[in-house]
Amino acid sequence: MTDSSSQNNNDSTNGSHGKRPAQSSGSSGASFPKIVKFNGNIQRTPGRDLDATKRPAPAHYSREDLLAQKQALPIYAVRQRLLEELRKHQTLIIIGETGSGKTTQIPQLIFTHGMTENGTIAVTQPRRVAAITLATRVAQEMGAQLGTTVGYTVRFEDVSNFKTKVKFLTDGMLLREAMLDPLLKRYSVIILDEAHERTIHTDVLFSVVKTAQKKRAEQGNNRLKIVIMSATMDVDHFSLYFNKASVVYLEGRQFPIQVFHAKQIQEDYLFSSLVTLFQIHKDAPADHHILIFLTGQEEIEAFAKSARTIAKDLQGKYANLKVCPLFANLPQNQQMEAFSSPPPNTRKVVLSTNIAETSVTIDGIRYVIDCGRVKARTHMPATGMDVLRIQKIAQAQAWQRAGRAGRQAAGFCYRAYTLNEFEKMAPNAIPEIQRCSLTTVVLQLLALGVQDPLHFDFMDKPPTELIEGAMKELHLLGGIQSIDKPVLTEIGQQMAAFPLDPRFTKLILASKDLGCTEEIVSIVALLSADSIMVNASAQREQANNVRAKFASSEGDHMTLLNIFRAFRTAKQNRNWCFENFVNYRNLLYAVEVRKQLAELCERTNIPMKSCNPQTEPIRRCLLAGLFLSVAEYQREGHYLTLGSRQTVTIHPSSVLFHTKPSCIVFTELIQTGKRYVRQVTLIDRDWIEELPKETLLQLRQTFRGTVNGPNRS
């Protein structure tokens, strides 16, 4: 550990040995962050973690084992000095690689030295599974039963009680708590971990904890200690934001990784990655597995096909090759393939999206091939549309990817881009808060008591248009009094209470008058979950045929509801899901969301009325809540949106893709190759005129001239 400002001690691990594929050359001079092998037994299960039976069982260690493991962590030797720093400063920034032991050891250090007399230690994580596994591990090390002294809180699961002193929670969960108590009075220490990931929640929390600390200090009792933990080397930014807070560096052990860059610019990064794969395959021992970072499902499936074909031609000449795709939308049983050990004399090649960058860890990876690209979502405030496109990664991401080769032993990373290209990459990825729709964030800020979101103390301020766009949408939804005076209305307060996109809360509120809350709450829950349709390209046709019995001629929302009802009738049976090509995990998730929403409805006096067997109220409700998302048929399959007057197409996954009704309401607008609307429902155009007067007035004001007389061509 060294004190701040003297830090530039990255090991350059670009060694001189190692074989080079023909089109790659050894990199020179680029620094490499420290990679530390985690010395515990923490494993992360992929995907949303709802199925408790699938969670890795906590390993059982003896007291001696646990102590030995603790002592082997790099942090152990410096714990006394670290403690001094923690005592000395009210705000401390700790830089250390993931797995250096900081996340498990620092909360214990704080706890055992009495810094929790006036409250609990909160440790935030960007992901649920991490919060759960870390709490399990720390409880074990402290000899406590999980849920007592050590616990965790994530959505749908609160394993903590009033005695809990070390609490792991998702950053989103702490933000929720802050909306009820902006001073976060029950905590004496708040640790924001993985701060370098800059999730939208952590970014808001930066300011929330800073404000809470200041106010509590002014009140003079129960002061708040803040610890920011990050893996980034760009510490000045953090330190400056937290009033020049002290920075502590934690060194770790690492396995060296040799990095190679392409010799010249690769026109086709897929082809280049494929060539590299087989050059490695020719020489490396069979149990040295390979991880290839690609951008998306389609790309991965095409790459897998090519790789398997080539491997078949080479059969018998080298080791066997087992190709495993890995992306979040892949059904869990297929995801597990990427984590299992392959048979003898077989090399595993995992083709992954950036899910393998942070969310999951795969054993035995010695080689990484990095295509240098990522698919990222950007919000366009002018059109209200999200654009999904492939872009170059940042340097920090490139190092993160490379690090995946050195988790258990020395490794290699082959980059499908030149050193020059690498040097031209942005040092860090653009934080989420600067590129996503901020409607929910602005709503949360207002609920937290922030007066002027435009001048909120962001660590990195989002573009003004994004904040203004959010205010505009909130105003249209009736959530704030006016754009100039952003004060929450009663509707706005309800929107803040619901863990939903405000547009979806609006739907629930609209359902009250139409007597279809029972149905709308299910639909909103389904829209909140990942896709419930299983869509492997290989069996797409079969899947569509089997699911045809659920399809509604009225659109996707009714179709979703039909599947959900059938799932519940089938007693939420897993096999039923398998037979019907629907995703069990995501349906279970929707059931949980529905439960939560139903409770909130009860609390806010929205009766769970059903309109069954009628469906018209549901479609009228969708229109009432989503009146900004209406489109009219033009010609050649194109639609024109009522509000922003953009040409859009119904997404091929929609049940209305063939039908092309004259007027539709949709829940998602996204640009990939084309501009698509997804989740589409057929409506009667006359219903627009029958909307409540205030809504119509608002519509006319917003889109003058487009509501009464759209040009039909």
Partner DNA sequence: GAGCACTGC
Compare residues 74 and 126 and give the one whose CB is closer to DNA.
126
Q: Which of residues 585-644 bind DNA (CB under 7 A)?
A: 637
Q: Could you give the 3-state DSSP secondary structure of residue 437? A: coil
Q: Which stretch binds DNA (CB under 7 A): 56-64, 249-257, 497-505, 627-635?
A: 497-505
Give the residue, chosen from 100, 188, 354, 586, that forms a contact with DNA under the rule CB under 7 A. 354
The phi, psi pair for 525, rounded to 5°, reads: -60, -40
Rule CB under 7 A: say whether 350 interacts with DNA.
no
Give the residue, chosen from 29, 316, 673, 705, that forms a contact with DNA under the rule CB under 7 A. 673
CB of 535 to DNA, least distance (A): 5
CB of 692 to DNA, least distance (A): 27
Residue owning tokens 């530390």 = 36
Angle between helices 517-528 and 584-603 (to 10 degrees): 130
CB of 680 to DNA, least distance (A): 11
Sign of CA dihedral 468, 469, 474, 475: positive
CB of 490 to DNA, least distance (A): 19
What whole-number distance in Å separates Cα of residue 138 and Cα of residue 77?
19
Sequence-ordered alpha helix ranges (H) in 1-117: 63-72, 79-88, 102-112
Please say whether the beta carbons of 609 and 516 come within 8 A.
yes
Give the residue, chosen from 297, 397, 418, 641, that forms a contact with DNA under the rule CB under 7 A. 297
Compare residues 19 and 674 and give the one whose CB is closer to DNA.
674
What whole-number distance in Å separates Cα of residue 583 and Cα of residue 555?
20
Rule CB under 7 A: say whether 668 interacts with DNA.
yes
Give the residue, chosen from 298, 423, 452, 490, that forms a contact with DNA under the rule CB under 7 A. 298
Q: Which stretch binds DNA (CB under 7 A): 70-78, 312-320, 347-355, 411-419?
A: 347-355
Rule CB under 7 A: say whether 674 interacts with DNA.
yes
Residue owning tokens 């009766």 = 607
Q: Which stretch binds DNA (CB under 7 A): 23-31, 104-112, 125-133, 601-609?
A: 125-133
Rule CB under 7 A: say whether 545 interacts with DNA.
no
Rule CB under 7 A: say whether 388 interacts with DNA.
yes
Compare residues 248 and 534 and give the one whose CB is closer to DNA.
534
Per DSSP, the residues of 545-569 read HHHGGG--TTBHHHHHHHHHHHHHH
CB of 354 to DNA, least distance (A): 6
CB of 676 to DNA, least distance (A): 6
Q: Which stretch binds DNA (CB under 7 A): 71-79, 137-145, 217-225, 531-539?
A: 531-539
What whole-number distance in Å separates Cα of residue 471 and Cα of residue 345?
59
Q: Which of residues 42-81 bind DNA (CB under 7 A)?
A: 46-48
CB of 237 to DNA, least distance (A): 22
Rule CB under 7 A: say whether 366 interacts with DNA.
no
What whole-number distance in Å separates Cα of residue 230 and Cα of residue 191?
11
Angle between helices 490-497 and 439-447 (to 10 degrees): 110
Q: Which of residues 140-199 bind DNA (CB under 7 A)?
A: 154-155, 170-173, 176, 199
Q: Which stretch binds DNA (CB under 7 A): 6-14, 562-570, 576-584, 653-661?
A: 653-661
Please say whether the beta carbons of 150 and 193 come within 8 A.
no
Q: Which stretch binds DNA (CB under 7 A): 41-49, 208-216, 231-239, 554-562?
A: 41-49
Which element (helix H / strand E) includes 603? helix 584-603
What whole-number distance in Å separates Cα of residue 615 and Cα of residue 112?
60
Per DSSP, the residues of 305-326 read HHHHHHHHHTBTTB-EEEEEEE
C-alpha distances in Å from residue 625, one per residue of 261, 630, 632: 52, 11, 17
Give the residue, chosen from 359, 418, 517, 629, that forms a contact with DNA under the rule CB under 7 A. 359
Rule CB under 7 A: say whether 430 interacts with DNA.
no
Rule CB under 7 A: say whether 431 interacts with DNA.
no
Neighbouring CB atoms inside 10 A of 372's CB total: 25
Compare residues 211 and 297 and give the one whose CB is closer to DNA.
297
Output b/e per residue, 460-495; b: 16+ Cβ within 10 A: eebeeebbbbbbbbbbbbbbbeeeeebebeebbebb
C-alpha distances in Å from residue 208, one per residue of 182, 298, 321, 493: 7, 40, 50, 19
CB of 668 to DNA, least distance (A): 5
Contacting positions for DNA (CB under 7 A):
46-48, 126-129, 154-155, 170-173, 176, 199, 201, 295-298, 327-329, 353-355, 359, 374-377, 388, 440, 499-501, 528, 530-531, 535, 537, 540, 637, 651-653, 657-658, 668, 670, 672-674, 676, 678
